[in-house]
């Protein structure tokens, strides 16, 4: 008896290994173009939006916003810009889920590092205040 | 198939055979998968720098220098905060735009325009590095910033600044060289003979990543 796993392995189309490296994209857009082909218009739009959001981040500093509002806006604009770059310019939006997960999930581990180092930084600060600052 | 053993041969020979077997996990050119994995590791490097910067900034008892003032430029007698950094950001975003279009023209087999756009990208990158050199000179020579101290406040400012922007600038410099090499090969018809322009997209991934890192440095180091 042939197991399901084996069937799936044989089902992988041979075209994946040939010249057309983006079968999902080619299928989704109905083109036979090679590799990642997207309209120039889309790139220009993202380009423009990156300018706009960079200007917004700059305005946060220019108008001297402070406190939670400043930090929230900085992070929101940063994440929007980062998503545009990764999704459109780096073509992640059109890659297959296997690649997306392999690249985008591991950095989440960094949140733990950031959390730990924030606790550590706080502790060092308090120790310094208690011991050295008169 | 179900009676096949878990590994081909017992022990490490089997592991080696499995890991080197002709199986493809990612249906993209191998160079692209490798570039993504390299960029993933680079993400961790830059994150470690930014996290250590967060740590020293949180733990210092001295006030952190005001970046809006430190990186201000005087234009016509007025101090405009972060002006140089804003220009550098725009230059890098522009270079990312030209690179994205270069990849597009590459896949259309437009040899000349691909090379032109890639050289434009490299030129903008060079422009960025030039402005960074100007910024470093200003800080080191005129403001007296050193890795171990500075007149404006917390001593950790200098080491964080030089480490983070220095490593990023090194990436931009490397990228300029990388792009120039690939662009020359585009122009010489190398990829037409090879039959694929995927190398242009792979170089593009690297370049967009450099822009991506700058987005985080801009937010956390300059604006925070």
pLDDT band at A134 (very low <50, low <70, confident <90, very high): low
| d(CA B199, nearest CA chain A) in Å | 11
Question: How is residue B188 written in tokens?
Answer: 């010489």
CB B1 within 8 A of CB A3: yes
Q: Where are the domains of chain B?
A: 28-223
ipTM: 0.87
Q: List beta partners, residue B73.
A: B80
Count CB neighbours of A29 within 10 A: 14
Q: Find the CB nearest B89 among A54, A60, A95.
A: A54
CATH architecture of B28-223: Up-down Bundle (1.20)
Cβ contact (<8 Å) for A110 and B47?
A: yes
Cβ contact (<8 Å) for B223 and A22?
A: no
- Where are the alpha helices (H) located in B28-110, listed in sequence order? 30-59, 67-70, 83-107
Q: Where are the domains of chain A?
A: 1-36, 38-95, 96-134
pTM for this predicted structure:
0.84
The verdict on B155 touching A (C-beta cutoff 8 Å) is no
- DSSP letters, B94-136, are HHHHHHHHHHHHHHTT-HHHHHHHHHHHHHHHHHHHHHHHHHH
**Distance between CA A72 and CA B59 in Å, rounded?**
22
The verdict on A57 touching B (C-beta cutoff 8 Å) is yes
Across residues A13-30, what is the average pLDDT? 42
Cβ contact (<8 Å) for A36 and B201?
A: yes
The verdict on B29 touching A (C-beta cutoff 8 Å) is yes
- How much is the pLDDT for A23? 43
- How much is the pLDDT for A8? 40
pLDDT in tens, A85-133: 999 999 999 998 889 999 999 999 999 999 999 999 999 999 999 998 6
Residue B48 has pLDDT above 70, yes or no: yes
**Distance between CA A79 and CA A77 in Å, rounded?**
6
């Amino acid at each position: 008896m042939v197991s399901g796993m084996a069937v799936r392995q044989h089902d992988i189309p041979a075209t994946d290994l040939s010249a057309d490296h983006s079968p999902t994209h080619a299928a989704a857009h109905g083109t036979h173009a090679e590799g990642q082909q997207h309209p120039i218009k889309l790139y220009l739009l993202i380009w423009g939006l990156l300018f706009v959001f960079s200007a917004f981040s700059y305005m946060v500093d220019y108008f001297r916003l402070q406190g939670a509002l400043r930090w929230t806006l900085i992070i929101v604009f940063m994440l929007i810009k980062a998503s545009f770059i990764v999704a459109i310019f780096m073509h992640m939006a059109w890659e297959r889920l296997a690649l997306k997960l392999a690249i985008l999930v591991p950095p989440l581990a960094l949140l733990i590092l950031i959390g730990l180092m924030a606790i550590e930084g706080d502790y060092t600060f308090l120790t310094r205040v208690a011991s050295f600052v008169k | 198939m179900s009676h096949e053993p878990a590994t081909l041969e017992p022990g490490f020979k089997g592991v080696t055979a499995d890991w080197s077997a002709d199986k493809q996990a990612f249906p993209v050119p191998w160079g692209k998968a490798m570039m993504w994995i390299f960029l993933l590791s680079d993400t961790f490097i830059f994150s470690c720098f930014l996290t250590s910067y967060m740590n020293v900034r949180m733990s210092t008892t001295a006030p952190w220098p005001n970046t809006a003032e430190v990186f201000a430029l005087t234009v016509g007698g007025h101090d405009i905060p972060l002006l140089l950094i804003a220009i550098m950001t725009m230059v890098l975003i522009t270079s990312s735009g030209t690179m994205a279009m270069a990849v597009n023209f590459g896949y259309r087999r437009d040899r000349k325009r691909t090379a032109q756009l890639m050289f434009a990208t490299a030129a903008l990158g060079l422009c960025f590095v030039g402005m960074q050199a100007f910024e470093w000179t200003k800080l080191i020579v005129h403001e007296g910033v050193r890795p171990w101290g500075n007149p404006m406040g917390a001593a950790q400012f200098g080491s964080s600044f030089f480490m983070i922007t220095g490593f990023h600038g090194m990436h931009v410099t490397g990228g300029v060289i990388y792009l120039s090499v690939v662009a020359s090969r585009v122009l010489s018809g190398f990829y037409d003979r090879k039959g694929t322009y995927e190398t242009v997209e792979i170089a593009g991934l690297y370049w967009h990543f450099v822009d991506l890192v700058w987005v985080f440095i801009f937010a956390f180091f300059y604006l925070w």
